[in-house]
Amino acid sequence: MAANWDDHRYFLAIARERSLTAAGKVLGVSQPTVSRRLEALEAKLKVRLFDRTQHGYELTTVGMDLFDTVERVEEDLAEVDRKIYGKDQEPAGSLRITCTEILLMGYLSPFLWKFLDEHRGIEFSVACTQSQLSISRGEADLALRFTQHPPETLVGRRLTSAAYALYAAQGSAGERFTSAGRADWDWIGVHDAGYNRLIFGNLPEEIQFKHQADSMAAMHSMVRSGLGVTLLPCYIADQDSTLRRLEPDPVPGISFDLWILYHPDIRRVSRIRLFADMITELIGTDRDLFEGLRPLPANSGQQETS
């Protein structure tokens, strides 16, 4: 019996995540369910699609061939959906966006709910992830993405650049962190070494991370609690009265362009246009905040560099 498309969705998720547990999270099902579906698919096709290794699930040669074919079919199906979706001119229906958790929590949320209150026919969902969901494969309709190299297959616009600065807690929780004692700061980083290099690469190599977290939102919370010092996006931290900049200017050389991106087939969909226009106007108004150039409040506790 031939496999159906739902079988192939499971196959693609395992191939991309290389883990049954991670694939289950993507698909919204349990790990045993993913395992059963894989076993059933391999039994139907009478081939082994993956080798189970210490590094995870690796595609066999047959699995690689199947992956290339199934991925093309997935993209073709997504294109059909987009073309139908692209004819929709009503400001109603589903709108799926993807962005980082800290952008949503620290900046976008109140504006999103205002937008949705004005357009009650829109059914909104958001995927907060550092992973770049594929718009071409239909995993999201629109992305707010920090990148220096947006995919050529998508359209959109650069909204601003996000600067970073050094922050500690305001008041007694962070008063021990001064510019004069920079060598003794308790630094907060992330678990991923590559991401640390990306964010902290322009700072001295002798930085040692005393504490680590798995997200920018968690790092923000740790700084607010007085656990240490870290780099945070100015558009988040400069609005937080519990934080203070340790140095007056953003750190040079650490800045990420923010783009709004969507597939050209749906650029004329009413709800896509409405949302894109709202975000463009909103962030245009706050460009100085994102670039770390908005004057800080008098009680911000900003310290001069010694």
Q: Does one domain contain both 24 and 95?
A: no
Look at strands 255-262 and 155-169 and give their pairing: antiparallel
- For 139, the domain range is 91-306
Query: Is the Cβ–Cβ distance between 247 and 234 less than 8 Å?
Result: no
Q: 143 with 268, same domain?
A: yes
CATH number at residue 143: 3.40.190.290
Q: Assess whether 299 and 194 both reside in one domain.
A: yes
What's the CATH number where 73 sits? 1.10.10.10
Q: Average pLDDT of the chain? A: 85
For 73-87, 103-117, 178-192, which range has the lowest pLDDT when averaged over its residues?
A: 73-87
Percentage of the chain with pLDDT > 70?
A: 88
Q: Tens of pLDDT along 227-261?
A: 999 999 999 999 999 999 998 999 998 899 999 99
> Would you say residue 180 has pLDDT above 60?
yes
Give the pLDDT confidence score for residue 294 in this predicted structure.
92
Domain count, the chain: 2
Residues 109 and 244 in one domain: yes
Q: Is 152 found in the same domain as 52?
A: no
Mark whether 273 and 200 lie in a shared domain. Answer: yes
pLDDT band at residue 85 under the 50/70/90 scheme = low
Of 53, 85, 117, the residue at which a domain comes to its end is 85
pLDDT, mean of residues 72-90: 65
Predicted confidence band of residue 1 (pLDDT cuts 50, 70, 90): very low
Q: Which class for 133: exposed (0-12), middle (13-18), buried (19 or more C-beta within 10 A)? A: middle
pLDDT for residue 206 is more than 80: no
297 or 113, greater pLDDT: 113
Same structural domain, 215 and 132: yes
Residues 39 and 97 in one domain: no
| pLDDT at residue 201, rounded to an integer | 77
Residue with structure tokens 């008098």? 298
Instruction: Provide the token pair at 86.
Output: 């692209």
CA angle 159, 165, 166 (to 5 degrees): 155
Residues 33, 110: one domain? no
**pLDDT of amino acid 188:** 94
Contacts of 101 (CB under 8 A, 6+ apart): 128, 129, 215, 216, 217
Residue pair 166/174 in contact (Cβ under 8 Å)? The answer is no
Looking at 60, 85, 110, which one is the last position of a domain? 85
The answer to pTM > 0.85 is no
Q: Tens of pLDDT along 14-32?
A: 998 889 988 888 888 888 9
Residue 77 sits in the same domain as residue 101: no
Give the mean model confidence (pLDDT) for residues 82-88.
Answer: 55
Of 76 and 193, which is predicted with more confidence?
Answer: 193
Mark which of 85, 102, 132 sits at the end of a domain: 85
Q: Is the pLDDT of residue 131 over 70?
A: no
Q: Which residue is associated with the tokens 């607010």?
A: 224
Same structural domain, 186 and 289 = yes
Span 33-73, pLDDT tens digits: 999 989 988 888 889 999 988 888 999 988 888 888 888 88
For residues 121 and 240, state if they share a domain.
yes
